Amino acid sequence: MYTSGAAHRCVRRRNKPVLTMLLCLVVGLLSALELPAAPYVIGVPALGPGREVLSRWAPVVDSVSELTGQSIRLVIESEQRELMSGLRGRRLDAVLLDPISVYRLSSEVPLQVLATVALGARAELNGESRPQYVLIVPSRSRTFAPVHTMGQAVSVPDLHNHPSVAVYTAMVFQDADLPIPRFEYADTQESILKGVSYGQLQVGVVSRSLLSDPAMTDFVSNVRPIALTRETPPWVMVGRIDGQSEVHDQIAAVLVGDLSTQYSNRGVRFFSPEVMYNNVDGGMLDVSESDAALLERALQLLRVLEVTAHVPSE
Instruction: Going residue by residue through the chain, which has 314 residues, state the pLDDT in tens, using 9 for 90 and above.
Output: 333 334 334 334 445 565 666 666 655 555 545 556 678 888 888 766 666 777 777 777 777 777 667 788 888 888 877 887 787 777 888 887 765 566 566 555 555 554 444 333 444 445 555 445 666 766 545 554 333 333 456 777 876 677 667 777 777 666 556 666 777 888 788 988 998 888 787 778 888 888 888 899 888 888 877 777 766 677 887 777 765 444 444 444 433 333 333 323 222 222 222 222 222 233 323 333 333 333 333 333 223 333 444 455 55
At 197 the pLDDT is: 87
Alpha helices, DSSP H, located in 33-120: 51-68, 80-88, 99-105
Q: Which pLDDT score is estimated for 225? A: 72
Distance CA 292, CA 88 (A): 42
Q: What are the residue ranges of CATH 3.40.190.10 in the chain?
A: 40-140
* CATH numeric code, 40-140: 3.40.190.10
Provide the pLDDT for residue 91: 85
Alpha carbon distance 286, 292 (integer Å)? 10
CB 172 within 8 A of CB 229: yes
Residue 132's pLDDT is: 56
CB distance 89 to 291 below 8 Å? no
Say how far apart CA 226 and CA 257 lie, in whole Å.
15
Q: Count CB neighbours of 258 within 10 A.
A: 11
Residue 210 burial (C-beta neighbours within 10 Å; 0-12, 13-18, 19+): buried
Determine the pLDDT at residue 307.
41
- For residues 197 and 172, give the distance between their C-alpha atoms in angstroms, rounded to a whole number: 21
The residues, ordered by sequence, that sit 6+ positions from 123 with a Cβ below 8 Å of its Cβ are 47, 56, 57, 59, 60, 129, 130, 133
Which residues are within 8 A (CB) of 156 and not within 5 positions of it... i.e. 6 or more apart?
162, 165, 166, 169, 183, 184, 185, 186, 192, 204, 205
Handedness of CA 298, 301, 304, 307 (dihedral sign): positive
pLDDT value of residue 211: 84
Per-residue pLDDT at 150: 37
Specify the CATH architecture of the domain 154-311.
3-Layer(aba) Sandwich (3.40)
User: Which H or E run contains 224?
Assistant: strand 223-228
Can you tell me the distance from the alpha carbon of 292 to that of 191, in angstroms, rounded to the nearest whole number? 28
Task: Please compute Rg for the chain using Cα positions.
Answer: 27
Residue 174 to residue 168: CA distance in whole angstroms: 10
Q: Which residues contact 241 (CB under 8 A, 6 or more apart)?
A: 221, 222, 223, 224
Confidence at residue 287, expressed as pLDDT on a 0 to 100 scale:
33
CB 271 within 8 A of CB 253: no
CA 47 to each of CA 77, 86, 273: distance values in angstroms, whole numbers, following the listed order: 9, 18, 40
